[in-house]
């Protein structure tokens, strides 16, 4: 058991990958979870059919840097803003946490989601490597004080 | 900085979950602020029941942990859960998936779950697990449940971290029961047989009894408790068995002994890390590389190199 102090573990990027909504397709979410793990991050995976409260509570308890959500049912406009609200109630805001959305999201919707605090939105064709790179680039700018 | 820490400490002790969460991260990361918070909070710890759950991957540890927490809550006890999953030795990344089986606890403010990656530690826990438990204890959790990685037979570290260790078995490992080496049997205070809805429970229970009869004499006979975690069956009995073990520890005065032993083990581990870090600082990475090259090329042997590094007796 190494001394955590002496071993000076750098702060690991922790990501919550969650699948809100009623559709049970978590293939995309799992692919993203694995890709971020392979990029050296610690991914908390919570499974399918997550309510906004479940997601916000997990983000709070796990003190994550990033909340990555995937919705394929088309319900993103309804679900994503509710998740941001549930997070805000707990002090988790776009200033201290990166909100990322994934799914089949038209450009107009993407703009709307950015308006409520989503930092970026990735479509089904997005390269997982790009998602990892985006996270690495933007996490240091978060206000984690 | 200390004003900010004062405020955070006050919020944490007032039950603020976000303050708790941030302090847990500092502690896990070996951050200086985590050390300071631990120094302040440690005197308030030592009140929680610490229960470890270990067993093979897929045995149902997370499901049992979820059920265990529900029973504790029904008995009016607040619960902290620490769930450890392995880090990849290649990328240092990890997928922490134990929460999937604990989804129903999310709405209960009396439960706080923290997932930890093992971060290179081999004993089934992570280096910071004990400190994370201390903080949850100081925060005021009545019970702290620790789910180990579950990678196999070497997970004896849980026994020195938890007061009561539950080994989660399943009936379908009946033929593999021989592989339950003496070590893991000796650390188990309670033997759960989960998935008792599957065939082979009786055989498994007999096999465990036979193994216990071969184990060295203890003044505590580990009870064997069948359960079906997915149907919430048998969980009350499991929790009662852990209670009985705790009562036994108190009666025999073992609880205090175990706490000293745990403290000793943690001090030694922390001191070892410091000594090694100091050595690396003083003598330097470069000297170590030279020695490694010398050993690799057979111009010296590992023992002589270590002696050349830290000095002989
Ligand atoms: N049949 C049956 N399956 C169970 C039971 N408990 C857990 N499982 C299943 O076993 C699998 C692994 O459970 P999990 O709790 O994740 O195991 P862990 O890896 O030890 O944490 C899941 O599919 C559970 O639903 C049980 O009592 N009976
Ligand atoms: Mg598990």
Contact B182, B86 (CB under 8 A): no
Chain segment A87-135, per-residue pLDDT in tens:
999 999 999 999 999 988 898 999 999 999 999 999 888 899 999 999 9
Least confident of A41-55, B92-106, B153-167: B153-167
* B67 Cα to the center of ligand 1, angstroms: 12
Tell which A residues from 87 to 106 touch B, by Cβ distance under 8 Å.
90-91
Contact A127, A33 (CB under 8 A): no
Burial A91-104 (b: 16+ CB within 10 A, else e): ebebeebbbbbbbe
* B194 Cα to the center of ligand 1, angstroms: 8
Mutate to test the interface with B, among A1, A15, A34 (most CBs of B within 10 A): A1
Options 2.40.50.100, 3.50.30.50, 3.60.21.10, 3.40.50.300; CATH of B45-252: 3.40.50.300
Contact between chains at B274 and A33 (C-beta distance less than 8 A): no
Domain definitions of chain B by residue range: 1-43, 45-252, 264-310
Confidence at residue B277, expressed as pLDDT on a 0 to 100 scale? 82
Least confident of B158-167, B195-204, B250-259, B274-283: B274-283
Tell me which chain A residue has its CA closest to the CA of residue B105. Answer: A54
- Nearest protein Cα to ligand 1, atom 26: B195
Helix axes B235-251, B61-74, angle to 10 degrees: 80
Statement: residue B244 has pLDDT above 90? yes
Nearest to B48 by CA among B148, B131, B143: B143
CATH topology of domain A4-141: Rossmann fold (3.40.50)
Would you call A14 helix, strand, or coil by DSSP?
strand
Long-range contacts of B197-205 (CB under 8 A, 24+ apart): B197/B228, B197/B230, B197/B231, B198/B170, B198/B171, B198/B172, B199/B171, B200/B171, B200/B172, B200/B174, B201/B171, B201/B226, B203/B171, B203/B174, B204/B169, B204/B170, B204/B171, B204/B173, B204/B174, B204/B177
Tell me how far apart the alpha carbons of residues B294 and B313 are, in angstroms, rounded to a whole number. 22
Residues in a beta bridge with B113: B81
Question: Quick one: which atom of ligand 1 is closest to the CA of B198?
Answer: 1
Least confident of A39-48, A87-96, A124-133, B171-180: B171-180
Length of chain A counted residue by residue: 145
Statement: residue B158 has pLDDT above 70? yes
Query: pLDDT exceeding 90 applies to what percent of chain B?
Result: 67
* B242 Cα to the center of ligand 1, angstroms: 20
What are the pocket residues of ligand 1 if the criterion is a CB atom closer than 6 Å to any ligand atom?
Answer: B 55, 57-63, 101, 150, 194-195, 197-198, 228-230
Partners of residue B100 in chain A, C-beta under 8 Å: 45-47
- Nearest protein Cα to ligand 1, atom 19: B58
Count contacts between A and B (CB, < 8 Å): 129
Confidence at residue B14, expressed as pLDDT on a 0 to 100 scale? 97
* B297 Cα to the center of ligand 2, angstroms: 44
Mutate to test the interface with B, among A7, A17, A34, A44 (most CBs of B within 10 A): A44
- Which residues lie near ion ligand 2 (Cβ < 5 Å)? B 61-62, 98
Nearest to A120 by CA among A144, A93, A99: A99
Tell me how far apart the alpha carbons of residues B79 and B245 are, in angstroms, rounded to a whole number. 19
Confidence at residue B54, expressed as pLDDT on a 0 to 100 scale? 92
């Amino acid at each position: 058991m190494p001394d955590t102090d002496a071993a000076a573990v750098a702060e690991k990027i922790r990501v919550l990958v969650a699948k809100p909504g009623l559709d049970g397709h978590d293939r995309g979410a799992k692919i993203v979870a694995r890709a971020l793990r392979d990029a050296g991050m610690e991914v908390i995976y919570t499974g399918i059919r997550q309510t906004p409260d479940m997601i916000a509570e997990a983000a709070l308890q796990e003190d994550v840097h990033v909340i990555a959500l995937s919705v394929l049912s088309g319900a993103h406009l309804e679900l994503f803003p509710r998740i941001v609200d549930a997070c805000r109630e707990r002090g988790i805001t776009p200033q201290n946490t990166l909100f990322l959305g994934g799914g089949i999201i038209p450009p107009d919707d993407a703009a709307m989601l950015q308006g409520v605090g989503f930092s970026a939105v990735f479509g089904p064709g997005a390269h997982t490597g790009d998602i990892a790179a985006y996270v690495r680039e933007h996490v240091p700018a978060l206000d984690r004080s | 900085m200390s004003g900010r820490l004062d405020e955070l400490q006050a919020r944490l002790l007032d039950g603020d979950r976000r303050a708790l969460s941030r302090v847990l991260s500092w502690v896990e990361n070996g951050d200086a602020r985590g050390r300071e918070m631990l120094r302040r909070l440690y005197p308030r710890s030592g009140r929680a029941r610490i229960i470890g759950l270990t067993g093979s991957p897929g045995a149902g540890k997370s499901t049992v942990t979820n059920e265990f927490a529900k029973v504790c809550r029904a008995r009016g006890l607040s619960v902290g859960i620490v769930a450890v999953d392995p880090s990849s030795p290649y990328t240092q990344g990890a997928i922490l998936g134990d929460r999937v089986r604990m989804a129903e606890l999310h709405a209960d403010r009396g439960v706080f779950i923290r997932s930890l990656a093992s971060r290179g530690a081999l004993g089934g826990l992570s280096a910071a697990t004990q400190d994370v438990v201390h903080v949850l204890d100081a925060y005021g959790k009545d019970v702290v449940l620790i789910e180990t990685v579950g990678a196999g037979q070497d997970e004896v570290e849980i026994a020195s971290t938890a007061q009561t260790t539950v080994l989660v078995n399943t009936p379908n490992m009946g033929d593999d029961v021989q592989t339950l080496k003496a070590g893991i049997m000796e650390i188990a205070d309670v033997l759960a047989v989960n998935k008792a809805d599957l065939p082979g429970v009786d055989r498994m229970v007999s096999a465990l009894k036979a193994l216990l009869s071969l184990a060295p004499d203890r003044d505590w006979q580990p009870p064997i408790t069948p359960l079906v975690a997915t149907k919430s069956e048998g969980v009350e009995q499991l929790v009662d068995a852990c209670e009985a073990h705790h009562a036994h520890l108190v009666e025999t005065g073992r609880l205090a002994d175990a706490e000293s032993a745990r403290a000793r083990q943690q001090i030694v581990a922390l001191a070892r890390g410091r000594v090694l870090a100091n050595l690396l600082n003083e003598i330097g990475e470069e000297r170590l590389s030279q020695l490694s090259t010398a050993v690799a090329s057979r111009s010296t042997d590992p023992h002589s190199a270590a002696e050349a590094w830290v000095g002989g007796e």
